[in-house]
Amino acid sequence: MKIVIVIPTYNEKETLPTLIEKLYSEVEKIAEKFDIIIIDDASPDGTGLVADELNKKYHNISVVKRNSKLGLGSAYKEGFQMALEKFDPDYIVQMDADHSHDPKEIALMIDKIKECDYVVASRHLPGSTIIGWNAQRKLLHSMSGAMARKFAKLDNTDPTSGFRMFKKNVLKSVDFSEIKSDGFAFQVELLRYLKMKGLKGTEIPTKFVNRKEGKSKMGLNETLQFSKMCYRLLKNRR
């Protein structure tokens, strides 16, 4: 079985090396072949060069260096398409670089995906935990989750989760030009797109740990983009 893991990065030079090390020890046990795609948006801290060094050590890391900060959703669009064209894997995983998502849970996703089209790691199932968020971050998260459920008509317990696994044919069936969001709102718009196509997802509980190194990229601009997406969905404009 072949897996590709797509990781968008912006200023993650502290977190990336240890994440790649953990991915190796976990994913090597479960996949016959696995590749990692890092989509870096000209990180000023030199994450792109750190990724090149990691590839010299591990040999199966493809580093895409873009010229400017084009957004998380835009990075996933490019990374998913590259995964399909270059590697033709059975499963594609998306995850953050900041250790919020535990590579150990990829094995649980593989067990679950056999019954459905895609799996989302949810922070709101029995057995899930969120470690290290302050009250403001919790509030922002519950508001964005509630808005996603209402405006995108999703029934996911955690529609903004960025830790997911897809079967190859699921992503092959996506026309990425129809997903307008290039920022964090992409996560919700993709779920809505898959739901409208009649594809079925399932959820697994996850242990989500707030980043200890580097800085969050979730800011006012992302919140505005998210609100715009909700408005667009409400008006039923794509």
Ligand X SMILES: Nc1nc2c(ncn2[C@@H]2O[C@H](COP(=O)(O)OP(=O)(O)OP(=O)(O)O)[C@@H](O)[C@H]2O)c(=O)[nH]1
Rounded Cα distance between 72 and 219, Å, is: 13
Q: Pick one of 35, 40, 78, 96: the residue that binds Mg ion (CB under 5 A).
A: 96
With contacts defined by CB under 6 A, name the span among 2-10, 142-150, 191-199, 224-232 that binds ligand X.
Answer: 2-10
State yes or no: residue 10 binds ligand X (CB under 6 A).
yes
Report the nearest approach of ligand X to the CB of residue 109 (Å). Answer: 18
In the complex, minimum distance from the CB of residue 231 to Mg ion, in angstroms, rounded to a whole number: 25
Closest CA to 30 of 92, 110, 101, 88: 110
- Which residue from 107, 218, 226, 125 is spatially nearest to 165, judged by alpha carbons? 107
3-class secondary structure, 137: helix
CB 148 within 8 A of CB 188: yes
To 5 degrees, how large is the angle CA 229–CA 235–CA 236? 85
Which region, judged by CB under 5 A, interacts with Mg ion, from 71-79, 97-105, 140-148, 152-160?
Answer: 97-105
Distance CA 39, CA 10 (A): 9
223 contacts which partner out of ligand X, Mg ion, none, CB within 5 to 8 A by kind?
A: none
- Candidates 145-153, 166-174, 187-195, 216-224; binding stretch for ligand X (CB under 6 A): 216-224
- Which H or E run contains 221? helix 220-234
Enumerate residues 112-131 that contact ligand X by CB under 6 A.
none
Residues of the shown chain interacting with Mg ion in the complex, contacts defined by CB under 5 A: 96, 98, 100, 211
Residues of the shown chain interacting with ligand X in the complex, contacts defined by CB under 6 A: 8-10, 12, 39-41, 69, 71-72, 75, 96-98, 100, 162, 210-211, 216-218
